[in-house]
Each structure stands twice: as C-alpha cells, then as structure tokens.
Amino acid sequence: MNIFVAFVLAIISSMLMDNVVLSRFYGICPFLGVSRKVNSSLGMGVAVVFVIMLATLICWPFYTYILVPAGIPFMDTVAYILVIASLVQLTGLFIKKYSPSLYKSLGIYLPLITTNCAVLGVAQGNTDQGLSFLDSIANGLGTSIGFLLIIVTFSCIRTRLETANTPKAFKGLPIALITAAIMAIALVGLQGLFSGIKL
C-alpha cells in the first residue's frame, strides 16, 4: 500500500465522511455563530485551518518527546490548552506586526479560536487514539479543511435562508440546525466512496 494514497485517503475521510462539524460535533459554536456572512465564515475557517495545523505540528511531538519521557503523559490536556492559547496569541502577534492586510481579514477571528473545541479536540484525539505523526498530520489537515469547507457552504445556505419564507418559530437558529442535519445526512451518503481501493 502506497503511503501517499493512504495519506490522501485519511485526509479525505476526515474531511468529508467524518466531517469535524457534522459527525464529530467539534466547533459547533463558531459554526452557528460566525456563519451569517460568507466573508466572516471564510476568515474564521482560514484562521482555524492555520491554528489546527500549527497545533498538530507542535502538540504531537510535545507529547511524544517531552511528556512521555518525563513520565507525565497525564498532563496532556493542560499542556495542550496552554500550547494552543500561546499559539493563538503568538500568531496574532506576528500578523499584527508584519502583515496588517492579513490582520485585517483574519485578526478578529484569532482570539475566538482558543475556545474552539476543534483545535483541542484534534490535538487531544491524535494522542488519545495513538495515531502516528503522519496520521496526525492527515487528521489535522483533513479536519481543518473540512471545517473550512462546511462553514463556508453553510454560510452560503444561510444567506439564502435569511430571505426565505420560514415559519416564525423556525427563524434564525432552528432552521439553521435543520439545514445542518440535512447536510449531515448528505455527507453520510459518501461513506465508502473509494472502497474499490485495496488498502
């Protein structure tokens, strides 16, 4: 089995079939809160991709080469949340200093990411499930791109829903949640899409 094919398949399955929002339920708060306008959802999504990738690249080696040899693997949650929070601040610092244009489009979403479950969920899941480093990267990449994809799609649907004639009780969040349910059903249908490939 080609490692590259396995890598791509892992990315695709954590992106679509096991989508981070619609089947793993990470990051529902920004999914519902920042999806009214396409622009904001795009900014949020890109910021999440960036932070998840950085967190995956740092947390996995941190766990394997520092926490486990030191005999304190049980401190993982505390360490991860601190690493993620510092990462968010440092990223914000850098783009504030060196790229005002990037800050203009991403800056305001960065502080929101510390309390985004998706980042901690991916970092914690990678080590809890005992994934290898390559698989962790695939998981991080697939998860974050899946988040970007779904939040942008969802915001496009929501802008249409704003003008649609929905019953009064369903206005706002309820109809958005029902829409999310239908999207989840659609993604379930993709399971086993590449089952012709022998692993």
Partner 1 sequence: MANAKHYIFVSITLGSIAAASALLIGGANYLTREKITQNEINSINKGIVAIFGQSAGIIEQKEIANDSYKYVTYYYAVSKEGSDENIGVAYRTTGSNMYGKISLLVGFNLSNEFVSISVISDEQTYAQTLTDNYIVPVQDGTRDYNDVSCGATYGAKLIRDMINDASKANEAQIWKD
Partner 2 sequence: MSKDLTLVIAIVILTALVAIFFISFVAYRKTPMPKGCENLKMDQEKCASCSNESCMFHKKEESEDNK
Partner 3 sequence: MKREKGYTKKNFLKGIINENPLFVSILGTCPALATTKTLEAAIGMGILFTVVLICSSALVSLLRKVISEEIRTPAYIVIIATFVTIVKMFTNAFLPDLYSTLGVFISLIVVNCIVLGRAEAYASKNNVFDSFIDALGMGVGYTLALLSMAFFREFLGTGAFAFGNIFTFIPLVKVQIIPKEYVMSIFQNPAGAFIVFGLILAVLAFIKNRKEEYKAYLARQEKIRKAEEAKKAALATAANKEEGGNK
Among 188, 190, 193, 197, binds partner 3 (CB under 8 A): 188
Residue 199 within binding range of partner 3, rule CB under 8 A: no
Q: How far is the CB of 174 from partner 1 (least distance, A)?
A: 27
How far, in Å, CA of 64 to CA of 67, rounded?
6
Residue 125 within binding range of partner 2, rule CB under 8 A: no
How far, in Å, CA of 34 to CA of 113, rounded?
12
Question: Can you say how many angstroms the Cα of residue 168 is from the centroid of all Cα atoms in its chain?
Answer: 32
Report the residue number, 90 or 197, with the smaller CB distance to partner 3. 90
14-45: burial string, b at 16+ Cβ within 10 Å, e else: bbbbbbbbbebebbbebbbebbeebebbbbbb
Residue 197 within binding range of partner 1, rule CB under 8 A: yes
- Residues 54-73 binding partner 3 (CB under 8 A) are none
Q: How far is the CB of 91 from partner 2 (least distance, A)?
A: 9
The token pair at 188 is: 């379930």
Q: How far is the CB of 190 from partner 1 (least distance, A)?
A: 8
Among 3, 4, 69, 74, binds partner 1 (CB under 8 A): 74
Binding segment (CB under 8 A) for partner 1, from list 46-54, 112-120, 127-135, 157-165:
127-135
Are the beta carbons of 47 and 179 closer than 8 angstroms? Answer: no
Q: What is the DSSP letter of 67?
A: I
Residue 165 within binding range of partner 1, rule CB under 8 A: no
Among 8, 46, 53, 79, binds partner 2 (CB under 8 A): 79
Matching residue, tokens 């502080």: 111
How far, in Å, CA of 37 to CA of 185, rounded?
24
Residue 27 within binding range of partner 3, rule CB under 8 A: yes
How far, in Å, CA of 30 to CA of 27, rounded?
6
Interface with partner 3 (CB under 8 A): 22-29, 32, 74-75, 77-78, 81-82, 85, 114-117, 119-121, 124-125, 128, 168-178, 180-182, 184-185, 188
